[in-house]
Amino acid sequence: MAISNHAIDRIALVTDFGGTGPYVGQVKLRLSGLLPQVPVMDLVSDLAPFRADLAAYLLPALVRDIPARTLYLCVVDPGVGGKRSALVIEADGDWYVGPDNGLLALVTRRAGKARDLRVDWHPEVLSSSFHGRDLFAPVAAMLCDGRVPPCTEIDKGTLIGNDWPNQLAKVIYVDRYGNLITGMQAADLDKDTQLRTGKREIAYARTFCAVSPGQAFWYENSFGLVELAINQGNAHHTLGLDPGDRIELFRHSS
C-alpha cells in the first residue's frame, strides 16, 4: 500500500503524558533515531489522563490552523496492551497515528476526504504498556519515509466513537490559566445563548477585555471552540469544573 504523493514535513505529538517524566522524551528519542531529519514537536502533552472521549473533541480544533503535511502521533491510550486496534488515518492532507478508542473518530468524521487503516504490523519488540514508543512511533517513521506498514482499509463506521455526538457540552481541557475549553463548536451557538454551571449563568463576550476583571463569560477561542473564562481570574477554581463536567445551555425567553 503506497502513501499519497505529498510529503510529511513534521510530526506533532498529542498525548496525556504530562510535561514531566520520561514518556514524551522516550517517544521523541525513538523518532529521532528513526527520523533524524524530521522535526518532532509537542502540540499538547497534558490532555486529561485516560480521557480519549474528551481529547477526541479537542484534536480537530487544535489542528485546524496548523500547516498541512503534518503527522499527528496521538496517544491517549488507557487500553494499551488490550484488544484495541492501532490506526493510521489520512485526512485532508495530514496523517494521524493512534489507538482505536475514539481518539481519532471526530477527525475522520469531519474530514472532507479520509482514509482509515487498521495497522496489522507489530515490531519485533513490543512492550505491553508503552505502544506510543514501541508501535506508534515506528509506524509514524514509516509513513514519514514514504511507506505504509501492513494495514487493512476499514470503514469509518466501524471505528470506536463513530456514534459519538458531533458536539460535546462538557469541559474537555483546562489550560494553565484555568480557562475551560468545551467540546462545542462556537459557530453552532447563538451569541445570546447562556451557559449554566450549577446556579451560575454565564453570558457571551467577544474577548477578555470586553468584561470587567473577575467576571465570568464564554467566548469563541482561537480553536473555534466554546471556552469559559474569567477576566484576570481562574475559571477552573472559581466555577469548580473539571474535565468531563457537563455544561448546560439555555436562552432566556423574551
Q: Last residue of a domain, which of 139, 158, 177? A: 158
CATH of the domain at 97: 3.40.50.10790
CATH of the domain at 191: 2.40.30.90
How many other C-beta atoms lie within 10 A of the C-beta of residue 171? 25
178 and 115 in a common domain: no
Within-domain flag for 222: yes
pLDDT range class, residue 253, cuts 50, 70, 90:
low
Within-domain flag for 173: yes
Per-residue pLDDT of 70-128, as tens digits, reads 999 999 999 999 999 999 999 999 999 999 999 999 999 999 999 999 999 999 999 99
Which domain, by its residues, includes 197?
Answer: 168-250
Number of domains in the chain: 2
Per-residue pLDDT of 135-185, as tens digits, reads 999 999 999 999 999 999 999 999 999 999 999 999 999 999 999 999 999
Within-domain flag for 1: no
pLDDT given for residue 20 in this prediction? 85
Within-domain flag for 195: yes
Per-residue pLDDT of 2-57, as tens digits, reads 555 568 999 999 999 998 899 999 999 999 999 999 999 999 999 999 999 999 99
Sequence-distant contacts of 3-9: CB under 8 A, at least 24 apart? 3/143, 3/146, 3/147, 3/148, 4/90, 6/68, 6/69, 6/93, 7/69, 7/146, 8/38, 8/69, 8/70, 8/71, 8/95, 8/143, 8/144, 9/38, 9/39, 9/67, 9/69, 9/70
pLDDT given for residue 1 in this prediction? 54
